[in-house]
Structure 1
Amino acid sequence: MKYKLIALDVDGTLLNDEHEVTEQTQKTIQEAARQGADIVLCTGRGPQNSIPFMEQMGLSGYVISHNGAATVKVDTREVVHQYAMDAKAIVPYLDYFRKEGVHFDVNTAFQMFVDDVEGLAVEVRSMYENYLMLPSVLPPLHDLSDPIVKVTAFGQPDTMDQVHQDIAAWTPEFNILRSGEYFVDLMHPEASKGNALKQLAERRGYRQEEILAIGNYYNDITMLTYAGLGVAMDNSPLEVKAAANEVTASNNEDGVHAALLKYCLS
């Protein structure tokens, strides 16, 4: 098989709009793995709500989580690489979110924290349920035992447009990324899906031309441009399609299945 490492985004790519992996897509991924491909999920989710999809498909290996901030081994839950943020530098951003009434969560590799679990708005609680997450109450940052790898703001698209515009104008201490229509992420300046995929490929001994990446949003651009072949979903914004080498069908039309069939299994 030409492509030995296959990196798949999860939401909007692997999953349809019902947050499901279709049977057809699952079987095609399993066949690619059976023929020797190393499958890695490359997602904005944490490992705790992305590893279950690997297990559902009977796959081991790795997940690149938190948009590249933490790479985790599926079977042992070992964090093999992470980009830790400067906790003190995060404080002004959290102050801004609180002042503007913007919901946010703070993430270590395996845990997610919010200011008030019991008082979550209905739409916020629904979002966490859709993503199979249950956050804990945020303690003082200096009490966290593990490094912070990502801070995510959540809200309506026009609110996130303004948040992104506001904090992107500050001194660039972090990688500030529009990771979804309703999300803005802050991460270590070197944290990205592309950098994490490169680090994992080197660790596993794969050449760049042996890597296939499939994604659908702005946070996928770095991995699409790093991979030997970058494939954008048909439900991607135009800028993401322009960054990719090829475009496949949408996430609701088994685009991952179609791409693997065309470029790996044909």
Structure 2
Amino acid sequence: MKYKLIALDVDGTLLNDDHSLSPENKKTVAEVTRQGARVVLCTGRNPKNAIPIMQEMGLTGYVLADNGAVTVRVEDQEVIHQYPMDGRGLDPYIEYCRHRDIHFDVNTAFELYVDNVAHLTKEAHFMYEHLQLVPASLPAWGEFREPIVKFTVFSSAEMMDEAEREWSTWIQSFNIQRSGEFFIDLMHPEASKGNALKQLAKQLGIRQQDVLSIGNYYNDISMLSFAGLGIAMDNSPVEVKAAADAITGTNNENGVSEALIKYCLS
């Protein structure tokens, strides 16, 4: 097996547009692990709804969650590494969102907080139910007992475009990532999928050239660039494809399976 560490994005990559794991992808992932590769998920998701996907594939190991802001071991859900944020630095962004009725949430490794859980919109309720997450109401910063690792905003694509443009003019205290058409994530300046993957590879004693990554969106560019072989899905934006070494099929065409067969099993 040429590649010893394989990092897979989840939504838009491993899962199809119905957010389901196809039998083809599951079978091929099982085969590359049988032949000795380590497969990890590198996702914008919270560990709580990333670990079940690892379990569905029958895998142990690691999830690099919240865009690399937190790395968790699957077997015992122990936090191996995290990049803590200063919550008080989020105050201007929260004020911006409140003024424009943009939904936001604040994440620790395993918990998620919203402005007021009793006043969630129908769209937010649907999103959290779909992601199998149960939010709580945001406490004061001094009441947090676990490090904050990610701040996420969720609204229309137009609102996200506007926020992204506006925030790019502010003094940058965070790594701001467009993680989906309707999502923007703020994290510690050093938190990224690429840095988390680099750190894990070093911990496991795996060389950069022995790492393969597959992703489909802007928040995947750092891990596509770090890996010895970075593969973009065909459903990726052009900028993501430009950062990759190769292109595979779409997430609805079992592109992950196609890439693993071509580059790992052939």
TM norm structure 2: 0.99
Equivalences for 1:87-236 in 2 at 5 Å? 87-236=87-236
How far the C-alpha of 1:118 sits from its partner, in A, is 2.5
* Cα distance in 2 between the residues matched to 1:217 and 1:129: 23
2:25 is aligned to 25
Equivalences for 1:80-91 in 2 at 5 Å? 80-91=80-91
* Cα distance in 1 between the residues matched to 2:199 and 2:166: 31
* Cα distance in 1 between the residues matched to 2:131 and 2:160: 19
Alpha-carbon displacement from aligned partner over 1:160-210 (angstroms, at most 9, x marks no partner): 000111112110000011111000111000000000000000000000000
What are structure 2's unaligned runs of at least 5 residues?
none
* Cα distance in 2 between the residues matched to 1:131 and 1:236: 22
Between 84-93 and 52-61, the greater mean CA deviation after superposition: 84-93
How far the C-alpha of 1:72 sits from its partner, in A, is 0.4
* Cα distance in 2 between the residues matched to 1:224 and 1:146: 30
* Cα distance in 2 between the residues matched to 1:186 and 1:91: 12
The root-mean-square deviation of aligned C-alpha atoms, in Å, is 0.7
Equivalences for 1:32-111 in 2 at 5 Å? 32-111=32-111
* Cα distance in 1 between the residues matched to 2:29 and 2:108: 29
Moved over 6 A (4+): none
* Cα distance in 2 between the residues matched to 1:105 and 1:252: 29
How far the C-alpha of 1:130 sits from its partner, in A, is 2.0
* Cα distance in 2 between the residues matched to 1:129 and 1:28: 29
Give the counterpart letter for 2:213 in structure 1. A
* Cα distance in 2 between the residues matched to 1:107 and 1:194: 20
1:255 is aligned to 255
How many residues are matched? Answer: 266
Alpha-carbon displacement from aligned partner over 1:66-104 (angstroms, at most 9, x marks no partner): 001000000011111100001221112111111121100
Between 17-26 and 116-125, the greater mean CA deviation after superposition: 116-125
* Cα distance in 1 between the residues matched to 2:141 and 2:55: 32
How far the C-alpha of 1:8 sits from its partner, in A, is 0.1
